[in-house]
Chains A and B, each alone.
Chain A
């Protein structure tokens, strides 16, 4: 163990886990307790998990405030996160989710690919924003997305969104 991440993050994780538990408990109030013959209704497991998560969250907060997580491996990679790259990848994934039904699988995935490549290249310290690099990424993205699309729509008959109904684009 060399250096643990700041315990503030660990505390936040504990709080997050406890909040999930709290949310589950609030949701469990509205679930029927009709137990029938077995005595265990549909709200039993939700309550059990809610309480367990509240306890886990509490213990995580306690661990974080008393020396940090126990028996924790040193995380691999850089000690500090590269956030600009994360923003690029997030933009790619979210744009893909937002646009897939309107611009179709091939273009939407190509967009996701291009944005993610920008982020990943920036993370490696080799950012390249020249138009030719963008064009190359677009072509490579399409060269991956299009055959994947055709394999699924044409050969496996799986419905993926396209801008035409031919299953080719």
Chain B
């Protein structure tokens, strides 16, 4: 009942005209950003972080959440019509959605994707409402050793497990951690790696790294390698689902949601695994006639399931962010940065110290989902027009927004030179298949993890035994080890059994 009352209070705050407007602008902007190839929600939120200097915390968090969800909705439009997924979350949607569009069923693909996102987003928001306070209550009992281990788990999954190469993932993570070292040490106040540059005493801005890695690098990559790529846009058809489409879609939405929810809740991040898992499930469960549509004419289940899984994961990713202060993706890492700009540290105390903000944010998720359904079903034709913007103007325009985002944070021209350097780094990383999420997560979580490590060691009076003396910490160590070792052992056993079978 208490949860219900607090949620109602959240609705009262979120439904003020000003906050509704922020939510609407965020959702619309997010959808536009999702539709436009080249920029994702992380960079959009990063570029707009300077507004935290003036806009009130609740309003700006509602705005950023709108961008976050809006981009998820918009991303599927580009995937279906252009077959160029804006980000990993829409990769699976592109597989079947694009085939449906090529067979003249773009409208049905867009509709199932939007309604599926709404269904999954709403169910996941209900789960956030019910479970986030419980997780927060449990999290209060965690101390520095457990927090450090949770962060270690996040580092491990983001870098070593989710990417294709553990080595490249770890390299990206350590580069992020190294960037996080620059500036004053949180505990002793000692300057580290500032090289006598006063601008670096405050550290490197997360906005700068995110905008450089995603926006500037994207423009540089486009000019270097993608200038002559010609995109073939599929024809739009009426955004409408037949009775049969509905019948085929709703079980896929529910299955997708069930798959996506747990992946968002654990500090393992990423939408790749749940979306691919949902796609594989739909394909496996399909009847023979439907199975034949997969990879040929395009099966609606192959769009409905992964889209639902994607949105469910993205929504429940709010649970580790709000209750533990652990971001599990680029965008949640930037959202954590937004909280920090207000001097708010997400974590178990957030539900007591900033309860008004948290519940307004959760309420805005319900409102935003409804807004996005309207923005993405009847108004989809409007967003599609954005795809007509010539690429040179689009990428050059992104550079202007990158400038305002980075310069606006600290009013430092030095940061703009640094931005150029990070952009070049981003190009190299993209060309050589280094993941970027570990850099951002490492940079933002690194200083927090270091502080937790040092506090934990103080509790253990200088002994690392403290990490295995506490049951939760010990379990987390075992989970980290399992996450690291099990996939490798499974691969090894599989290779051995195949070898034995051949012999």
Contacts and interface: CB of A to CB of B under 8 A. Distances in A.
Interface string B413-426: 10011011001000
Contact of B221 (A9, A53, A77): A77
Nearest to A124: B227
B181 A39 contact: no
A168 interface: no
A77 B229 contact: yes
Interface in A128-169: 140-141, 144-145, 148-149, 152, 156-161
Given A13-B428, A46-B192, A86-B223, A69 B181 contact: no
B102 interface: no
Contacts of A83: 224
B178 interface: yes
B353 interface: no
A85 B433 contact: no
B167 A94 contact: no
A93 B399 contact: yes
Contacts of A124: 227-228, 391-392
B164 A78 contact: no
Range of interface residues on chain B?
A: 35 or more
Interface string B386-416: 0000011101110111011001100101001
B224 A123 contact: yes
Contact of A82 (B53, B174, B225, B462): B225
Interface of B: 50-51, 53-55, 164-165, 167-168, 170-171, 174-175, 177-178, 181, 185, 187-188, 190, 192-193, 216, 219-229, 391-393, 395-397, 399-401, 403-404, 407-408, 411, 413, 416-417, 419-420, 423, 428, 430-433, 446, 450, 453-458, 460-463
20 contacts: A38-B455, A38-B457, A39-B461, A40-B457, A56-B174, A60-B168, A71-B165, A78-B227, A78-B229, A86-B220, A86-B224, A89-B223, A112-B399, A112-B400, A119-B223, A123-B227, A124-B227, A141-B396, A149-B404, A158-B50
Closest 6 CB pairs of A and B: A123-B227, A39-B462, A77-B225, A97-B416, A120-B392, A38-B458
Interface of A: 5, 9-10, 13, 17, 20, 24, 27, 31-32, 34-42, 44-46, 49, 52-53, 56-57, 59-60, 63, 69-73, 75-78, 81-83, 85-86, 88-90, 92-94, 96-98, 100-101, 105, 108-109, 112-114, 116-117, 119-125, 140-141, 144-145, 148-149, 152, 156-161
